[in-house]
Structure formats: C-alpha cells, structure tokens
C-alpha cells in the first residue's frame, strides 16, 4: 500500500499507519513499534500486540534423542512458552538448560515449563549468525589440539553442542522475526553450518580412537580449517569469486583415500552447494 509523507515540524516527515494493522495488533497511543532499516527499505513491526504463543508436549517414556528433537522443533517454530510433561527429572533438567534465551519458569517431577526471555532481540540475524560462524571455526581449529593429544573427542562434542545451541537460535530467529525475503537464504546458511559442525565431530571421533595421527591426516586437518576460515571470510566480504576458488582448492587437496577424506569432501560439498544463491549480487545496490 502507498502512503504520502506529511511534514511534521521543521525537519521531520511522518506517515499514518493502516487502521486494520493497528487493530490487528491492538495498538494504541504511546505504544512502541519497531522500525528496522534493511537496505532501501524500512521494516515496521510490533511485538506488543502479539498473543503469547504456547504449546504443551508430553515426552513421557520417549528416548532422550526423540524428546530433544520434538522440543527443539517447537523452540525453532517460535513458541514463547513450552510446557513439557515428563517422568524423567534428569532428562527434563538437561532440556531446561539447553535452549538459548529461555528460562525455566517451573520444574518438578512431572512438569517443566520453559519461557522465552527475549521478546525483542537486540542483535539482528547477521550478528547472531556471525557468532555461529566463529564457533564453527573454533570447532575446526580444535581438531589440531586433538592431533597433539591435548583434548579428547568429548571436548569437540561440547563445542558442537554450543554451536548447535546458537544455530537453533538462528533458526528460531528466522521463524519468529525475519522477513520472508531473506528467510530461505538464511535457512540455507544456518543449516550449512550445522551440517559442517556434525562432520567435524565425526572426524574428531575417528581420530580420537587412533593411537597416532599420520602426516596425511595432519595435512587434511589444516586443509579443513583453512577451507572453513576462508569460506567465512569471503562470505562476509561478499566475494563469490574468491570463495569459489578457495573451495576448489580445498577439493583439490583432498586425496580421496581414507574415511576422513570422505568426510572432508562432504564438508567441501556442503560449503560449495549454495554459494551462488548465498552471496549478494555485487551490482545490487
């Protein structure tokens, strides 16, 4: 819809908001709305009039993995309060500590209630996503510590869980706050990081079982770290040509002889698959 700018005072220009939109979100005088700048657009949004979105889940007698999958799905969908019926206090305690931005409102032997404490995020998606990228780089760099017997697989797995926690919050942000224009692009970016993080943990698990790590494996680890670091660098530089060349070099340095060669190749393929779609058009202003 089109609105004309109206002069207000000496320098300000104002517009009126559609009455249907105001009524839909139950807005009135002195209420606050959010105005975010996105390139040539201003995005006007409100959270003040939205009804709290709640759900109830019964995880009694479910396995740990299935329970987490179901609850994570509701978290990503953007629910403000998740009520969980359970019969496993230890599992519910673990669940209560596992979701960024949520606090435990109630926890006893039969029920866990988690509530969102972040009504309006202070950071935009890109800032949150950058943190996840840095966590992925750190997880990859940890492989070198494994190589020198300074840590074990459990340490790498802990880093993957921290990465996953941030990735789940990215996906929640996309569903709850992001505009449709960029949602699919951001979804691909985020799930790419998750898949690569899982692959790094698989490499760590394999290497942790070995008594010694070969020179070829050491070289491969360095190749993986460099490939991920350069991917992140060129992603935020919006340089598709350098990213393309870097990922091709990454591929050429994989020998395709061992189990972790195959995992390294899958890492490269996941980083490579969507680069044409993820990078902004350089000519776009």
The reply to whether 221 and 261 lie within a common domain is yes
Which is higher by pLDDT, 30 or 239?
Answer: 239
- What is the rounded average pLDDT of the residues 213-218? 90
**131 and 33 fall within a common domain:** no
Question: What is the average per-residue pLDDT within 62-70?
Answer: 94
Answer yes or no: is pLDDT of 285 > 70.
no
CB contact set of 62 (below 8 Å; sequence gap of 6+): 70
At 193 the pLDDT is 95
How far, in Å, CA of 171 to CA of 186, rounded? 8
Q: What is the mean pLDDT of residues 245-264?
A: 93
Domain count for the chain, please give it: 3
- CA 162 to chain CA centroid, nearest Å: 11
- Give the strand pairing for 102-107 and 81-85: unpaired
Same domain flag for 151 and 218: yes
Q: Using alpha carbons, list the distances in angstroms from residue 130 to 27, 127, 175, 213, 235.
A: 34, 5, 18, 32, 10
Residue 285, in any domain of the structure: no
Domain that holds residue 38: 6-45
Assign 279 a pLDDT band (cuts: 50, 70, 90). Answer: low
The two three-digit tokens of residue 152, written as one number: 């074990």
State the sign of the Cα–Cα–Cα–Cα dihedral 59, 62, 67, 71: negative
Residues 28 and 79 in one domain: no
- pLDDT band at 42, cuts 50/70/90? confident
Q: What is the DSSP letter of 97?
A: T
Maximum CA extent, the chain: 76
Q: Are residues 15 and 34 in the same domain?
A: yes
Q: Counting beta carbons within 10 angstroms of the beta carbon of residue 51, is it exposed (0 to 12), middle (13 to 18) or buried (19 or more)? A: exposed
Average pLDDT over all residues of the chain: 87
**Tokens matching residue 113:** 């209630």
CATH number for the domain that contains residue 10: 2.10.260
Residue 143 sits in the same domain as residue 243: yes
Does residue 86 register a pLDDT over 60?
Answer: yes
Residue 209 CB partners (closer than 8 Å, separation 6+): none
pLDDT at 282: 46
The pLDDT, as a whole number, for residue 276 is 78
CA distance 27 to 21: 9
Q: Mark whether 19 and 66 lie in a shared domain.
A: no
In a domain, 254, yes or no: yes
Which stretch, 5-9, 45-49, 64-68, has highest mean pLDDT?
A: 64-68
Of 226, 213, 211, residue with least CA distance to 258: 213
How high is the pLDDT of residue 274?
Answer: 85
Would 284 be classed as within a structural domain?
Answer: no
- Of all residues in the chain, the percent with pLDDT exceeding 70 is 92
Both 151 and 79 in one domain: the answer is no
In 3D space, the residue among 34, 88, 25, 39 whose CA is nearest the CA of residue 60 turns out to be: 88
């Amino acid at each position: 819809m089109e609105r004309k700018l109206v002069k207000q005072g000496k320098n300000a220009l104002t517009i009126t908001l559609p009455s249907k939109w105001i009524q839909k979100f139950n807005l009135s005088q002195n209420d606050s709305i959010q105005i975010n700048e996105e390139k040539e657009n201003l995005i006007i949004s409100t959270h003040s009039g939205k009804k709290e979105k709640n759900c109830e889940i019964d995880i009694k007698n479910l396995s740990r993995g299935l329970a987490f999958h179901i609850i994570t799905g509701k978290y990503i969908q953007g629910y403000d309060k998740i009520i969980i019926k359970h019969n496993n206090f230890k599992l519910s305690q673990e669940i209560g500590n596992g979701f960024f931005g949520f606090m435990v409102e109630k926890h006893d032997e039969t029920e866990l209630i988690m509530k969102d404490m972040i009504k309006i995020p202070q950071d935009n998606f890109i800032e949150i996503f950058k943190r996840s990228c840095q966590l992925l780089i750190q997880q990859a760099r940890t492989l070198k510590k494994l190589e020198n017997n300074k840590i074990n697989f459990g340490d790498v797995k802990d880093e993957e869980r921290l990465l996953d926690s941030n990735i789940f919050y990215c996906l929640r942000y996309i569903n709850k706050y992001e505009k449709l224009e960029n949602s699919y692009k951001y979804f691909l970016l985020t799930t790419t990081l998750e898949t690569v993080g899982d692959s790094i943990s698989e490499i760590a698990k394999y290497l942790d079982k070995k008594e010694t790590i070969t020179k070829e494996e050491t070289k491969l680890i360095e190749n993986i770290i460099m490939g991920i670091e350069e991917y992140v660098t060129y992603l935020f530089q919006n340089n598709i040509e350098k990213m393309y060349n870097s990922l091709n070099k990454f591929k050429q340095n994989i020998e395709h002889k061992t189990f972790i060669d195959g995992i390294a190749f899958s890492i490269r393929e996941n980083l490579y698959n969507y680069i044409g779609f993820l990078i902004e058009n350089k000519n776009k202003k």
